[in-house]
Amino acid sequence: MNPGSPIRLQAGDALIAVDVQNDFLPGGSLAVPLGDIVVPALNRYLAAFAARALPVFATRDWHPANHCSFKAQGGIWPPHCVAGTSGAEFASGLDLPAMAVTVSKAATPESDAYSGFAGTDLAARLRAGRLARLYIGGLATDYCVLNTVRDALAEGFEVLLLADAIRAVDVKPGDGARACDAMLRLGARSIRYEDLAP
Ligand code: VGL
Ligand code: ZN
């Protein structure tokens, strides 16, 4: 349910595809349950952005092989998204435009970063492009999407959470739903593709 007028894509809008990488998809080393549904879901938004020549950013986990979040180093995750491996590649079916800006994060052994804003120039790039309203979807709802949305709001951006283009890890059942609640409480608006003006 999303009362209100249809959303018109406009100058100042940007799409942020969070960590749509092979290791987070079925068959990957840290597969998000049904994570692959975000690919066709995001592709619809990507087509709408492409039709209006609006900018797209794609964040990616870009870990060294000895990253602190991996179990061998005392972290909680299996190795995933090791820089330069096929698991770290964006999903091949994701229709990223040639102009998409890639934002790599958590690229040193000691730094973990769930947020696309943490230790990156994402905020500066968005401001330089006079981008104010961010459409955010991808993986995973309860980690990188949650933290990216939280930082985006803290940085003063308006956030439209793409409710039909996110999936959760759900280490604990309900984590994804709780993350969604938290994002809405912080000021994000939850939208679905059908809420866009044709
Ligand atoms: C993520 C777990 C570990 C994510 C990244 O992209 O949500 N989750 N690293
Ligand atoms: Zn990671």
Instruction: Identify the active-site residue in 61, 81, 95, 105.
Output: 105
Domain residues of the chain, as ranges? 13-192
The residues, any chain, with a CB within 8 Å of residue 27's CB and separated by 6 or more, are none
pTM of the model: 0.97
The residues, any chain, with a CB within 8 Å of residue 168's CB and separated by 6 or more, are 32, 33, 140, 141, 142, 175, 176, 177, 179
From the CA of 76, how far away is ligand 2's center (Å)?
A: 10
180: annotated active-site residue: no
CB of 17 closer than 8 Å to CB of 49? no
In a structure prediction context, what are the per-residue pLDDT tens digits for the chain, which is 198 residues long?
Answer: 456 789 999 999 999 999 999 999 999 999 999 999 999 999 999 999 999 999 999 999 999 999 999 999 999 999 999 999 999 999 999 999 999 999 999 999 998 899 999 999 999 999 999 999 999 999 999 999 999 999 999 999 999 999 999 999 999 999 999 999 999 999 999 999 999 998
Residues touching ligand 1 (Cβ under 6 Å) are 19, 61, 69, 77, 114, 139-140, 143-144
Q: Provide the residues around ligand 2 (an ion) whose CB is within 5 A.
A: 61
71: annotated active-site residue: no
In CATH terms, the fold of domain 13-192 is Rossmann fold (3.40.50)
State how far the Cα of 169 lies from the Cα of 167, in Å rounded to an integer. 7
